[in-house]
Amino acid sequence: MPSRTPTEAIRRGLTFWRRSIQARVVASTVLLSALVVGVVGWFLLQQTRDGLVDARVDRVVAEAANETADARARLATVPGTDDEASLQLQQLVDPIIARGRSRGFLVVLNGPIGDQPTDLSGSGPRYSEGLDLDSVPADLVKHLDDGGSTAWAFSRIRYLPGSGKSDTAGIVVGSTIQLPADAEFYTIYYLYPMQQERETLDLVTRALVTAGALLLVLVAGLTWLVTRQVVTPIRMARRVAERLAAGELEERMRVRGDDDIARLATSFNQMASSLQRQIRQLEELSRVQRRFTSDVSHELRTPLTTVRMAGDVLHDAREEFDPVTARAAELLQTELDRFEGLLTDLLEISRFDAGAAALDLDDVNLIDVAHRVVDMTRAVAEQRNTTVTVRALSEPCLAEADTRRVERIVRNLVSNAIDHAESRGIEILVNGDDHAAAIAVRDHGVGLAPGEASLVFNRFWRADPARARTSGGTGLGLSISLEDTHLHGGWLQAWGQPGRGAQFRLTLPRRAGAALRQSPLPLVPEDAEELTP
């Protein structure tokens, strides 16, 4: 099985996203839930962190104050001189460093104030082993060196390379102590790592992330389950509707329970039953109508033949009659021709309705067809003071089609144009390309009102019922032309504007059965923009 390309996978994913309500609902719910869980989790983490830090600060400040107070108490009981200052410093800082190792804090002793650099550099400071003196914030050192009171600050506690410890966040508490041996003030800093608080915060973070992920999975599952209960009946209704559209009128939805979905299914089934009854009634009515049209057309053939024979005899002998009788014989012949044409059209329509129409395919040159139609309609055009011209944009213009039917289509279009041209010129345009051949009939007569372009192909439809027919049309010509066009797999379209004429375009595939994508001729004529005010 060939592997799918990334583009195809993305296209399939987008198609699934567009078509699946369930997927969109689940995704939207999960995203909103993730946003809520994220905001709540962030708030909880902030509160937890602030609580841990505040508690830690209170403890370390209190512990540092106790250590400083204890150191001052011990130094107050120990008299000394300048020569014993170094010994007193050692006796001061060593016990604190020892307690720091056991209690988890570090110590830095610097001084005397004013004699040592403010950045704790040089040989003056005494401090816990492995500590990097840059861990003490410079602002805190400056504060105490300037005579400030006990203070604290957050800092990054760093260790010297090789100490085996990693840097961590911490709290630094600074205070001052006066050494009795030399009466100088020294600064002492207590550095408390916050590793335990960091581990606690990491544990809480992992717990919140795990709980949030599980909650999102639970929300996704619940949303999927709830939407499935709603979407499943909708999908069932879609499948039933598709089967109904395909002609399976017996299909119905299954009704379960009495909820809104069940009532919707009941209403859908009632609608389907009503549509089934109406469709069957319409099918029966259409069948009866087609049968009636076919039967009447065939039954009228026999009496028409008899009347035609009598009419021919009267028409041939009209010169022997008085003028009134001769005129009646001519009118009888004319109406018999029209009646016979109507019967022929009705029989053709009945064949289309019965699906019995077939094509006799051959290579047809639409240019030759256009010229033959012009010759056939020249007499009628001259009576209407109208000229019909052919303009071929490509030659030859061939299509695989039924010559008789294509000629009938073009003849009907030209006859219709003559009826409505109002003594203005008519132009037949012919063009073709590699895929299609087209012929357009353009007149400059009464035109079509908005919405009439889709009605002109209806049976017996007329834009102006009071308008007289001059070409002897039956009202079925354009309907038959449309059926002939559909039989070829082509297009027959109309365009028009009131008072500015109309254009009918026939487009046929070059090869029978090929699909049409475009026409070699535009539906809207080239002079339409010039006519637009």
Q: What is the pLDDT of residues 75-112, one digit of tens each?
A: 776 665 555 666 777 777 788 888 888 888 888 888 77
Residue 230 corresponds to which tokens in the numbers above? 């709603």
Peptide bond into 522 cis (omega under 30): no
The verdict on 468 and 511 lying in the same domain is: yes
Encoded amino acid at 138, one letter: A
Answer yes or no: is 4 within a domain.
no
Tally Cβ neighbours within 10 Å of residue 531. Answer: 13
Q: Is the pLDDT of residue 124 over 60?
A: no
Q: Is the pLDDT of residue 214 over 90?
A: yes
The verdict on 487 and 367 lying in the same domain is: yes
Q: pLDDT value at position 427?
A: 92
Question: Percent of the chain at pLDDT above 70?
Answer: 86
Of 234, 251, 268, at which residue does a domain stop?
A: 251
Considering 7-11, 110-114, 211-215, the range whose residues carry the highest mean pLDDT is: 211-215
Quote the domain boundaries for residue 104. 78-193
Answer yes or no: is 432 within a domain.
yes
Q: Interhelix angle for 195-245 vs 260-316, to 10°?
A: 30
First to last CA, the chain: 62
The answer to whether residues 189 and 176 touch, using CB atoms and an 8 Å cutoff, is no
The verdict on 258 and 309 lying in the same domain is: yes
Answer yes or no: is 189 within a domain.
yes
DSSP 365-388: EHHHHHHHHHHHTHHHHHHTT--E
CATH value at residue 163: 3.30.450
Pairing of strands 388-392, 151-157: unpaired
The verdict on 132 and 96 lying in the same domain is: yes
Q: pLDDT value at position 122?
A: 41
Q: pLDDT value at position 6?
A: 76
Q: pLDDT value at position 291?
A: 72
Q: What is the pLDDT of residues 428-476, one digit of tens each?
A: 999 988 889 999 999 988 888 888 888 888 877 766 555 555 544 567 7
Q: Using CA atoms, how far apart are residues 349 and 59, in angstroms rounded to an integer?
A: 102
The verdict on 233 and 293 lying in the same domain is: no
Tell me, rounded to whole angstroms, the distance of Cα 307 from its chain centroid: 66
Q: What is the pLDDT of residues 329-381, one digit of tens each?
A: 888 877 777 777 777 766 776 666 666 677 788 888 999 999 999 998 888 88
Residue with tokens 């861990």: 135
Q: Which of 83-92, 231-240, 299-308, 420-429 is the least confident region?
A: 83-92
Q: What is the pLDDT of residues 486-503, one digit of tens each?
A: 888 899 999 988 888 899
Q: pLDDT value at position 353?
A: 66
- pLDDT-derived band at 1 (thresholds 50, 70, 90) equals very low
Q: What is the pLDDT of residues 311-326, one digit of tens each?
A: 788 878 888 888 888 8
Q: What are the two backbone dihedrals, phi and then psi, of residue 193, each rounded to the nearest 5 degrees?
A: -65, 150
The verdict on 166 and 224 lying in the same domain is: no
Q: Which of 217-221, 304-308, 439-443 is the least confident region?
A: 304-308
Answer yes or no: is 7 within a domain.
no
Q: pLDDT value at position 123?
A: 40
Q: pLDDT value at position 238?
A: 79
Question: Percent of the chain at pLDDT above 90?
Answer: 15
Among 93, 172, 92, 175, residue whose Cα is nearest residue 133: 172
The verdict on 136 and 72 lying in the same domain is: no
- pLDDT-derived band at 531 (thresholds 50, 70, 90) equals very low
- More confident of the two residues 286 and 49: 49
Q: What is the pLDDT of residues 156-182, one digit of tens each?
A: 988 888 777 888 889 999 988 887 777
The answer to whether residues 181 and 88 touch, using CB atoms and an 8 Å cutoff, is yes
Give this prediction's pTM: 0.49
Return the SS3 of 440: strand
- Cα distances from 267 to residues 37, 160, 271, in angstroms, run 41, 81, 6
The verdict on 246 and 264 lying in the same domain is: no
Q: Is the pLDDT of residue 271 over 90?
A: no
The verdict on 374 and 499 lying in the same domain is: yes
